[in-house]
Structure 1
Amino acid sequence: MSLRLRLLLMIGISLSLLWGGVAVWMLRDLENEMRRTLDQRLAMSARMVAGLVSQNPAAWDTRSGTAGVSTLTVPATAKGLACQVSSLRGEVFARTPGAAPAAIATTTPGFAEREIDGERWRSFTVEAHGLRITTADRLAERNTLLRDVMVAAIVPFVVALIGSLMMLWIGVRSGLVPLERLRQALARRAPDALTPIPDAPMPRELQPLVDTLNQLLERMRMTISRERRFTSDAAHELRTPLTALKTHLQVARITHGKDAETALDYAEEGASRLQHTLQQLLTLAQVEGPFSWDATQRTDADEVARLAMRDAAPGTPERIELVSGGPQVELALPQALAVTALRNLLDNALRHAPAEHPVSLEIQSTQDTVCFRVCDSGPGLSADELTRVTQRFWRRDTGRGSGLGLAIVVAITERCGGSLALAQRPTGGLEAKLTLPRAKRGDPNFD
């Protein structure tokens, strides 16, 4: 069901019910008021005749010897209305022409109803000056009058309702024109057009929709840009090791003995480097892309340090010194991300530190965060290098590795609400502080 039809149905039905309820209410009050008015007409007619009689009581004196003889002729009134003047003993002095005697032959003052020859009559009787004056009219004539009045009252309501529905249709159609223009503008856009929708004048109700669409387009632009950058980085970074690997394999094929073994060793080293680079690229793409994790997963800081040390120095665990004497704390992020970030820091420190000097790993916790402090005794970095070290594929001229380790750490901290701080140590070497959010009491991750 379209939005236009839904609005028309909802508002149209509500408007029809409202107008119908008001019409029924008004017509019911009108019917009651008409019946009261007609009854008042009967009563006023009877009292008016009584007033006329009081002006000449001698003409209606029952002792004049003319009782039972109609000495006055009362002219016919409106159709269906009858009047009779009689004595208290039932002697009729005057009656309107065509009046049914049974319809007005009543002895009880006030209103009364009766059915005569299949027709219902309503009468009113008043007694004054020794006379009984009765007026009556046919209920069929009343009903005809009421029906005519009802029709005259209903027709304007029906016309107004139809006119209101037509104006409603026109108003809904014109009100949805900005939405239709927005649809047409989106339909005319090219598939790769991710620029924001222009802030043209539009209704206030549509502005949140346009803002949301612009935010969606911006996120799509960033996602596509990230994918393009990943493709470009992968193509650029993998070209060199693939070329070197192919060259070493060709050398191993055309040589023998020691030279072939050396070429194969270089090829194996290039394959390992290629595998490491691919793994780092995939990790970076996963961290920067959309992903979700189980909110109930528990991540112990000491366990993260142990796993990161095992992955960074599988054959030489003595090169890393762990300093952790505080209570057990838990991290508010997945274990895999925390281990990946800390492992890259340890791997970077082990690569640049002398083999005879160990790398220090210290765990410090506060009320809201957990800090992993990694210190090495390597050559360190200059101020200019500290500003560029977290860039993708940045390496020193003589450096090895993929150049993605610290970039992955920065991506993880940005995604999980942490931070990475690098500083030159006064005694030489580099100090890296990886700060990650700590699970708080009351969270699903914390007991």
Structure 2
Amino acid sequence: MSLRLRLLLMIGVSLSLLWGGVAMWMLHDLEGEMRRTLDQRLAMSARMVAGLVAQNPAAWDTVDGAGPAPLTVPATAKGLACQVSSLRGEVLARTPGAAPAAIATVTPGFAEREIDGERWRSYTVEAQGVRITTADRLAERDDLLRDVIAAAVVPFVVALVGSLAMLWIGVRSGLVPLERLRQALARRAPDALTPIPDAPMPRELQPLVDALNQLLERMRTAIARERRFTSDVAHELRTPLTAVKTHLQVARITHGAAAETALDFAEEGASRLQHTLQQLLTLAQVEGPFSWDETERAYADEVARLAIRDAAPEAPGRIVFESHGVPAELALPQALAVTALRNLLDNALCHSPSEQSITLEIEAGPDDVRFRVRDSGPGLLPDELARVTERFWRRDRGRGSGLGLAIVLAIAERCGGSLSLAPPATGGLEAELRLPRAERDRAS
């Protein structure tokens, strides 16, 4: 169902039901008021005749019981009949055309009866020894009520139909900016990621346009990053593959020590290729959809122990571990925390002399845990510090994949942490990784 039709149905049906209910309410009240008014007319007519009788009572006396006095009563309004009779039942006066059975009522007050298929309503009052009865046909009342209702309903229906027509026009014209936006998006090429032009737009649609422009900008940035990433990956994988292929060809055409050396080089190239692919898979997992549902809690000390074991399995003594504060629980899966810290340790071990150690220090704050890794390597220049977290960046194209610190930064940003690098006064490089603490751990 289209938005236009949905709006029309919702507003139109609501408007029709609302005004239909109001109309029924008003017509019900109008019918009751009409009936009360007509009853009051009957009563007032009877009382008016009673007042005339009171002014000249002698004129209504019978003459020696010889019958009614020779008096006449003029015809009243259409549908209204009147009769004046004595208390003994003698008719003294009657309007022309009045049905005797309809107005021959002896009980004071209102009454209804059916005469010759017609229903009559009458009102009787007694005064000065005479009985006055007024009556009218209920069919004429119903005709009058139908005429009044028709006079009220027809303009109402015309106004309602006109309102629905104006509603259709208003909704159609109100949705024109949305239709223009749809047409503008439909005309765009699949690879067009430029922002939607900032044309005059209704205030209600401006947040939608802003959200679309933000989405297009994120898509443009993501596609550009993936294209750059694909280009870098192709270049990085081409080099070790070419080296492996070359060394295998050398091993095939040579013998002895030369062949063994070529095979050793080929094995080293394959290991480098495997490490690069593993780092690429890790980076893809971190930046892609990731499940945070992990039952095992990640504690800072345990993360540090596992990262030291993975980074230096053969020489764990090269890493000096210092912990300050109580054990802190991290607000991220243990695998991510271990991967980030292991890459920091790998980077420090790779750039430190083999005879010197590196330091890992943990400090728990109120909201996060800080992992500081200090090495005694050559350090980095200011322009190198600005590029060291870029993918595949390596100093002088040295060893490694150039993805370790990029993975650390991606994990930190994914979980709401941070990574900072700075050269300490003693030389080398100090990396500080901040990871958020779990909410339940902060409360305790």
Fold-level similarity (TM above 0.5) = yes
Q: Hey, what does 2:32 align to over in structure 1?
A: 32
What does 1:288-299 correspond to in 2, within 5 Å?
A: 288-294=287-293, 296-299=295-298
Give the distance between the partners of 1:442 and 1:153, measured in 2 at CA. Answer: 73
Alignment of 1:31-50 (within 5 A): 31-50=31-50
Pairwise CA distance, 1:299: 0.8
- Check conservation: 1:68, 1:91, Cα contact below 8 A: yes
The number of residue pairs the alignment matches comes to 444
1:53 Cα offset (Å):
4.2
The residue that corresponds to 2:273 in the other structure is 274
Residue 263 of structure 1 corresponds to 262
Match of 1:243 in 2: 242
Q: Secondary structure at the match of 1:180?
A: helix
User: Hey, what does 2:365 align to over in structure 1?
Assistant: 366
Deviation per residue, 1:221-265 (Å, 9 max, x gap): 222222212101101212222222221111111111111111111
Alpha-carbon offset, residue 67 of structure 1: 4.1
For 1:234, the equivalent position in structure 2 comes to: 233
Distance 1:52 1:425 in 2: 122
CA distance in 1, matches of 2:60, 2:226: 115
Q: Closer, same or farther in 2 for the Cα pair 1:152/1:202, shift >3 Å? A: same
Q: Which residue of 2 aligns with 1:214?
A: 213
- Counterpart for residue 6 of structure 2: 6
* Structure 1 residue 278 displacement after superposition: 1.9
Give the 3 Å change call, closer, same or farther, for CA 415–102 of structure 1 in structure 2. same
- The CA distance in 2 between the partners of 1:347 and 1:125, in whole Å, is 114
Which residue number corresponds to residue 98 of structure 1? 97
Letter in 1 for 2:32: N
SS in structure 1 opposite 2:213? helix
Q: 1:4-153 to 2 correspondence within 5 Å? A: 4-54=4-54, 56-62=56-62, 64-65=63-64, 67-69=66-68, 71-153=70-152
Paired residues of 1:319 and 1:358 also in contact (CA < 8 A): yes
Paired residue type of 1:356: E
Secondary structure, in 3 states, of the residue corresponding to 1:401? coil
Matched, 1:333 2:332: yes
1:392 Cα deviation (Å)? 2.6
CA contact (8 A) 1:67 1:91 kept: no
Say if 2:243 and 2:269, in contact at 8 Å, map to a contact too: yes
Displacement after TM superposition at 1:266 (Å): 0.9
Q: Tell me, yes or no, if structure 1 residue 388 matches structure 2 residue 402.
A: no
* Cα RMSD, aligned residues only: 2.4
1:106 maps to a residue whose letter is T
Pair 1:91–1:389, CA change in 2 (3 A): closer
Q: Is the 8 A contact 1:223 1:289 kept in 2?
A: no
Identical-residue share of aligned pairs (%) = 82
CA distance in 2, matches of 1:67, 1:125: 25
Pick which of 207-216 and 259-268 moved more.
207-216
Q: Deviation at 1:397?
A: 2.3
Q: Is the 8 A contact 1:50 1:128 kept in 2?
A: yes
- Could you report, residue by residue, the CA deviation over 1:36-88 in whole angstroms, capped at 9, with x for unpaired residues? 222222223233334444555444332x4474145133344444322222223
For residue 425 of structure 2, what is the aligned residue in structure 1? 426
User: Are the equivalent residues in 1 in contact too, given 2:61–2:69 (CA < 8 A)?
Assistant: no
Q: 1:54 to 1:388 in 2, by over 3 A?
A: closer
Question: Given residue 8 of structure 1, which amino acid in structure 2 is its aligned partner?
Answer: L
For the 8 Å contact 1:7–1:172, the answer to whether it is kept is: yes
* In structure 1, distance between residues paired with 2:432 and 2:59: 127
> Hey, what does 2:343 align to over in structure 1?
344
1:181 aligns with 180
**CA shift for structure 1 position 113:** 2.2
**Letter of the 2:114 counterpart:** E
Runs of 4+ that moved beyond 6 A: none
Note closer, same or farther for the CA distance 1:57–1:353 as it changes in structure 2 (3 Å cut).
Answer: closer
**Which is worse superposed, 307-316 or 290-299?**
290-299
1:131-187 Cα distance to aligned partner (Å, 9 max, x none): 322221122222222222222222222222222222222222222222222211111
Instruction: Verify the 8 A CA contact 1:323 1:361 in the aligned structure 2.
Output: yes
**In structure 2, what is the Cα distance between the partners aligned to 1:192 and 1:326?**
53
Partner of 2:407: 408
- Tell me if the contact between 1:230 and 1:281 (Cα under 8 Å) persists in the aligned partners: no
What's the CA shift for 1:110?
2.8
TM-aligned CA distance change 1:65 to 1:442, over 3 Å: farther
Secondary structure in structure 1 of the residue aligned to 2:329: coil
Separation of aligned partners in 1, 2:416 and 2:105: 99
CA gap 1:313/1:148 in 2 versus in 1, 3 angstroms:
same
Write the distance in 1 (CA, Å) between the matches of 2:358 and 2:75. Answer: 127
Which letter does structure 1 place at the counterpart of 2:259? A
- Partner-residue secondary structure (3-state), 2:330: coil
Letter paired with 1:11:
I
Q: CA deviation at 1:359?
A: 2.0
Structure-2 change in CA distance of 1:76 and 1:273 (3 Å): same
Structure 2 gaps, min length 5: none
Answer yes or no: is the 8 Å Cα contact 2:324–2:364 preserved in 1: no
Aligned to 1:312: 311
Alpha-carbon spacing, 1:388–1:219, altered in 2? closer, same or farther (3 Å) = closer
**SS at structure 2 position matched to 1:194:** coil
TM (norm. structure 2) is 0.92
The aligned amino acid for 1:39 is D
Q: For residue 32 of structure 1, what is the amino acid of its counterpart?
A: G
Quote the Cα distance in structure 1 between the aligned partners of 2:49 and 2:343: 117
Secondary structure of the structure 2 residue equivalent to 1:324: strand
Distance verdict in 2 for CA 1:135–1:255, change over 3 Å: same
Change (3 A) 1:388 1:31: closer
How big is the shift at 1:23?
1.3
| CA distance in structure 1 between the partners assigned to 2:302 and 2:260 by the alignment | 41
